């Protein structure tokens, strides 16, 4: 999010210029940022203000909570080192293009996943024991009549609506981990209910989990397109069959897995973000990124091939 804000400031882009969603009423689920008159700011807490009149309910399960709206785990509340989320495809592409970059292709993402080092400190941020504790807490609230409390999978990318959501949602289990060939121990708990800060840039991080990522499999169609939101949106609308999400997220369904799913045009989802790619042979781009990306994550891909 810090990089996204920096690019907006540099290019004097306002939220409306990027078609970013407005306010709590237009953004379901956990929300990292909120709009201001001229830009974005980090929210103080994840969840929208609850509307019940006679009962004050804390946002998180007692085992996770720090006060009424915060999380106990360090760095688990919204901060600008977390991946940008709730962003429409044209805004993601606009930010990438304005840096001389683009969205990766699904093939590039698959290659990167094969090179990612997965160790005990970098296990994927998925529906783990912390998420399950929150699910149990919200289920109890819902059954007790506190219907304003949001399910912990609210705002997730719908994956064409084919899989369980809300009360039918389930956490990852050992069987699901085995099916997806993840080296994740039984009962894994990173204590992050929602997003966590991204890696420090020393290596690829969070290609699996945290946020699902938008990818575009027709980069050649962007070669001579004017870098404006309306023009980029035209390309994406005409090539929606080449626009996907990959990688799963902190709140996405284990039934779906991590393979690419049709993305389509949308206004943003709480668990969907993006990363940027550039051709490794284009050294000038690296220089242009240094100031803004001192501790941010990017993908370098092979020059010239577009794969």
pLDDT tens per residue, range 165-210: 988 999 998 889 888 888 888 788 888 999 999 866 566 789 999 9
**Residue 157 forms part of a structural domain:** yes
pLDDT value at position 41?
95
How many domains would you assign to the chain?
1
Kindly state whether residue 247 falls inside one of the protein's structural domains: yes
Confidence of residue 26 (pLDDT cuts 50, 70, 90): low
Query: Are the C-beta atoms of 159 and 252 separated by less than 8 Å?
Result: yes
* DSSP-derived pairing of the beta strands 272-273 and 212-216: parallel
User: Do the domain assignments include residue 307?
Assistant: no
Per-residue pLDDT tens over the stretch 82-92: 999 999 999 99
**237 inside domain:** yes
How confident is the prediction for the chain on average, in pLDDT? 86
Count helices and strands (H / E) in the chain.
Answer: 7, 10
pLDDT beyond 70 at 25: no
- For the cut 70, the answer to whether the pLDDT of residue 31 exceeds it is yes
Q: Can you give the pLDDT at residue 110?
A: 94
pTM of the entire predicted model: 0.89
Q: What is the mean pLDDT of residues 253-268?
A: 93
Strands lying side by side in the sheet with 212-216: 261-262, 243-246, 212-216, 272-273
CA distance 256 to 259: 8
Q: Identify whether 92 is part of a domain.
A: yes
Q: Which domain holds residue 6?
A: 2-301
Q: Model confidence over 107-133: pLDDT tens digits?
A: 999 999 988 777 666 789 999 999 999
The pLDDT > 70 percentage for the chain reads 85
Assigned domain for 306 exists? no
Confidence of residue 216 (pLDDT cuts 50, 70, 90): very high
Q: What pLDDT does 52 receive?
A: 55
- Per-residue burial over 156-193, b if 16 or more Cβ lie within 10 Å, else e, is bbebeeebeeeeebbbbeeebbeebebebeeebebbbb
């Amino acid at each position: 999010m810090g990089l996204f804000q920096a690019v907006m400031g540099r290019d004097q882009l306002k939220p409306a210029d990027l078609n970013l969603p407005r306010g709590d009423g237009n953004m379901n689920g956990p929300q990292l940022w909120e709009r201001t008159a001229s830009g974005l700011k980090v929210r103080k807490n994840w969840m929208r203000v609850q509307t019940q009149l006679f009962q004050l309910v804390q946002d998180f399960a007692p085992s996770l909570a720090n006060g009424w709206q915060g999380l106990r785990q360090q760095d688990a509340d919204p901060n600008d080192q977390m991946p940008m989320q709730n962003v429409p495809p044209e805004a993601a592409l606009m930010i990438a293009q304005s840096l001389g970059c683009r969205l990766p292709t699904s093939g590039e993402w698959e290659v990167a996943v094969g090179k990612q080092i997965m160790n005990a400190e970098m296990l994927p941020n998925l529906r783990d024991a912390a998420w399950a504790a929150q699910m149990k807490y919200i289920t109890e609230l819902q059954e007790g009549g506190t219907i304003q409390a949001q399910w912990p999978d609210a705002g997730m990318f719908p994956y064409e609506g084919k899989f369980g959501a809300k009360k039918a949602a389930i956490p990852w289990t050992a069987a699901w981990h085995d099916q997806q060939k993840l080296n994740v121990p039984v009962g894994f708990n990173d204590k992050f209910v929602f997003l966590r800060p991204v890696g420090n840039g020393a290596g690829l991080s969070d290609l699996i989990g945290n946020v699902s990522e938008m990818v575009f499999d027709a980069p050649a169609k962007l070669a001579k397109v004017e870098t404006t939101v309306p023009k980029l949106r035209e390309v994406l609308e005409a090539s929606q069959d080449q626009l996907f999400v990959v990688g799963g997220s902190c709140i996405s369904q284990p039934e779906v897995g991590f393979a690419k799913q049709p993305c389509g045009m949308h206004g943003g989802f709480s668990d969907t973000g993006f990363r940027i790619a550039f051709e490794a042979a284009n050294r000038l781009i690296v220089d242009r990124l240094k100031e803004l990306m001192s501790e941010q994550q990017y993908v370098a891909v092979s020059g010239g091939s577009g794969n």
